Amino acid sequence: MANAVARGRGFNGRLLGRSLSTAAGALNPTARNLYGYLFSLPLIVLFLAFVVYPLYFEATQAFDRYTYEVLFSDPIYVQTVVNTIVYVGIAVNTKLFLALLLSGVLQADTRGVRFLSAIFLLPWAIPVLPGILSIRWMLSSQWGIMNLIMEDLGFGSVHWLASRWMAIGALIVFHIWKYLPFWTVIFLAGRRGIPRELYEATAIDGAGGLQNFRYVTFPMLKGLYLICTLLSMVFTLGDFTNVWLLTGGAPGDSTHVLATLAYRYTFLMGKIDWGVGVFATALPVTLLFIFILIKKIK
Amino acid sequence: MKTATADRPRRLLIEVVRGVLLALITVWTLFPIYYMLVLSFTPTAELFRPEYWVKNPTLESYRFIALQGSVFVKFFWRWMANSVLVAALTMLAVLVVASLGSFALGRIRFGGARFISGMTLFTYIIPASFLSIPFFKIMGDYDLLDTYWALILAMTTFASPYALWVLWDYAKTIPPEIDESAAIDGAGYFTIFWRIYLPLVLPTLIAIGTYAFFFAWNEYLYAVLFLQSEQMFTLPISMGTFLTGDEAPWNLLMAVSTIYAIPPVIFYYVFRRYLTHGLVSGAVQGT
């Protein structure tokens, strides 16, 4: 409706504007620049103070060799880098692949699907804490529901969060549970944007579901899929909350990711330069990803 | 094309597979949420005997919360008020920053527009946690630790870019001739912004305002870093403190979780059109 209003006014505006040509554009460029910067001033101040300065602070730390000697010789740091790569690599890619498939299922417009698409959004809508805390209790080895299920199915109980890879596995599963809905909706929107004529054309050639996917859907969604992958990887690279509240780095600091390790160094051990160093080592890759993304999105 | 009779078993099979799939996804999606609700109604005596449902449901946990009757929810109403306050002020700040910025980008075609849009995109993409330690240091230097302002500043910085992109997207659909005709009548940029631009983008302002509100409402990392004394906690910080003890009353925690989750859930359902809309045209919100 708002769009219709805007369009209606636009019509009037055009009538008025035509006779008197581009009077507003007549404002000289210097004045326009002045006003442009004036209106963006709050944004620029926030950016300089809280994005540029922190990055500068971290980058200057990057020249302190001693910090790196400490980090690279700390086995927990090395483990953390491995954990982060595994977590980001597996969680993001599994999630996006499932989202791509699922968006195909949800594209059908039946009653069941409509019902599902509504409840399917819940994990995304719920803040991260209730979700992760609920899962943490579910995985409690003594009192959790998962072990009740395991026992009822005839398996023994499992110490879910007591070993490094089981805990990281749980983290990956939670990540998929929480963020799959969002990306599915994104791909669903992408699929809806594909012109129907393309499918009609392949139908004439006798293409089935799989061929449709291979020759129409995937090529059309490839760009979006790549952007989503990069974006989700960068976001997940900085994950703190999920890891901190599910494992807290336990058992024995073996399940840290970058952000939780930096937190541990800085706030639990009082070594701020180590904490900053953790992020500084991840900056080159992160910035590279970000610049590729900005180029692709703009 | 195949005949209808040959098609029927195949179609039936597809229907069955799809039905099973939908049922599985439903269970997978709802189970942790269902279990959160179950726990919140579980009496403490039954907490350590897991069941698939509550045998003797009770409102005990909710009563504890309302009356602040446990150390874990000692300041519940204060925490709730803190959460609302930080979220509301973040919302106001984001509305100001994003509406001014989107006006500059969308309506004043000036030299720095490219730089500014790149800058907001950069802020949007970079993980907030990467900036957290220097951010903490800055807030310490300016004596802002343990104040609402620290958290509000951080939330405004990180919520503004997406808000701006959504607004900007919408602002592009307003024809420039409107501003031009107003300019002919002698209106300056401030008048155009106030009298023409803001009323036109009002529906979007409501959506992004609510987005900013819940962006702050949901924040954990920066809240934990900045707000240290118990009186200053927001709800997520208080929920995190449950994990420090061995004998955490998990039913109480899940009751707090439930109360805390209800407002954002309502918001996402009301505004979900806006929240996914901005993405296809450029920006993404989520993880």
d(CA B34, CA B47): 15
Torsion over CA of B155, A294, B272 and B193, rounded to 10 degrees? 70
3-state secondary structure of A6: helix
d(CA A288, CA A292): 6
Helices (H) and strands (E) in chain A, counts: 18, 0
- Compute the nearest-CA separation of B99 from chain A (Å): 9
- Residue A4's pLDDT band, with cuts at 50, 70 and 90, is very low
From the list A126, A175, A298, which residue is nearest B261 (CB)? A126
Could you count the other beta carbons within 10 Å of the beta carbon of residue A298?
Answer: 10
d(CA B144, CA B18): 55
Q: Which residue has the tokens 């991840």?
A: A282
Q: Exposed/middle/buried for A252, CB within 10 Å: 0-12, 13-18, 19+?
A: exposed
- Compute the nearest-CA separation of B287 from chain A (Å): 5
Count of A–B CB contacts within 8 Å? 332
**Do residue B25 and residue A120 have CB atoms under 8 angstroms apart?**
yes
Residues of chain B with C-beta less than 8 angstroms from the C-beta of A193: 280
* Residue B130 contacts residue A275 (beta carbons within 8 Å): no
- In eight-state DSSP terms, residue A109 is -
pLDDT digits (tens, 9 = 90+) for A170-200: 999 999 999 999 899 889 888 888 888 888 8
- Residue A269 confidence (pLDDT) above 50: yes
ipTM for the complex shown: 0.89
Interface test with A, best of B18, B80, B96, B129 (most A CBs within 10 A): B129
Residues of chain A with C-beta less than 8 angstroms from the C-beta of B157: 46-47, 50-51
Residues of chain B with C-beta less than 8 angstroms from the C-beta of A20: 180-181, 184
Nearest residue in A to B2, CA atom: A206
Instruction: Tell me the CA distances in angstroms from B190 to A36, B177, B197, B198, one per residue in order.
Output: 11, 17, 10, 11
pLDDT digits (tens, 9 = 90+) for B249-277: 999 999 999 999 999 998 888 877 666 55
From the list A125, A189, A241, which residue is nearest B265 (CB)? A125
Instruction: Tell me the CA distances in angstroms from A87 to A175, A187, A248, one per residue in order.
Output: 9, 22, 15
Residues of chain B with C-beta less than 8 angstroms from the C-beta of A19: none
If you average pLDDT over residues B9-24, what whole number do you get? Answer: 86
Is the full-model pTM beyond 0.95?
no
- What is the distance, to the nearest Å, from the Cα of residue B185 to the centroid of all Cα atoms in its chain? 41
Q: Is B18 on the interface with A (CB under 8 A)?
A: yes
pLDDT digits (tens, 9 = 90+) for A237-266: 999 999 999 999 888 899 999 999 999 999
d(CA A48, CA A57): 12
- Residue A18 confidence (pLDDT) above 80: no
Provide the token pair at B21: 């799939």
**Do residue B117 and residue A298 have CB atoms under 8 angstroms apart?**
yes
Nearest residue in A to B271, CA atom: A125
**Do residue B29 and residue A5 have CB atoms under 8 angstroms apart?**
no
pLDDT at res. A107: 82
Q: Is B23 on the interface with A (CB under 8 A)?
A: no
d(CA B232, CA B238): 10
pLDDT digits (tens, 9 = 90+) for B23-67: 899 999 999 999 999 999 999 888 888 888 888 899 999 999 999
- What is the distance, to the nearest Å, from the Cα of residue B197 to the centroid of all Cα atoms in its chain? 26
d(CA A159, CA A139): 8
Encode B152-175 in three state secondary structure: HHHHHHHHHHHHHHHHHHHHCCCC
Backbone angles phi, psi at B178, to 5 degrees: -60, -50
More confident residue, A31 or A77: A77
Residues of chain A with C-beta less than 8 angstroms from the C-beta of B285: 182
From the list A20, A50, A234, which residue is nearest B184 (CB)? A20
d(CA B99, CA B95): 6
pLDDT digits (tens, 9 = 90+) for A101-149: 988 888 877 777 777 778 888 998 899 999 999 999 999 888 888 989 8
* Residue A267 contacts residue A180 (beta carbons within 8 Å): no
Amino acid identity of A106?
Answer: L
Encode chain B in three state secondary structure: CCCHHHHHHHHHHHHHHHHHHHHHHHHHHHHHHHHHHHHHCCCHHHCCCCCCCCCCCCCHHHHHHHHCCCHHHCCHHHHHHHHHHHHHHHHHHHHHHHHHHHHHHHHCCCCCHHHHHHHHHHHHHCCHHHHHHHHHHHHHHCCCCCCHHHHHHHHHHHHHHHHHHHHHHHHCCCCCHHHHHHHHCCCCHHHHHHHHHHHHHHHHHHHHHHHHHHHHHHCCHHHHHHCCCHHHCCHHHHHHHHHHCCCCCHHHHHHHHHHHHHHHHHHHHHHHHHHHHHHHCCCCCCC
Amino acid identity of A167?
Answer: A
Provide the token pair at A67: 């910090």
If you average pLDDT over residues A13-42, what whole number do you get? Answer: 65
- Residue A21 confidence (pLDDT) above 50: no
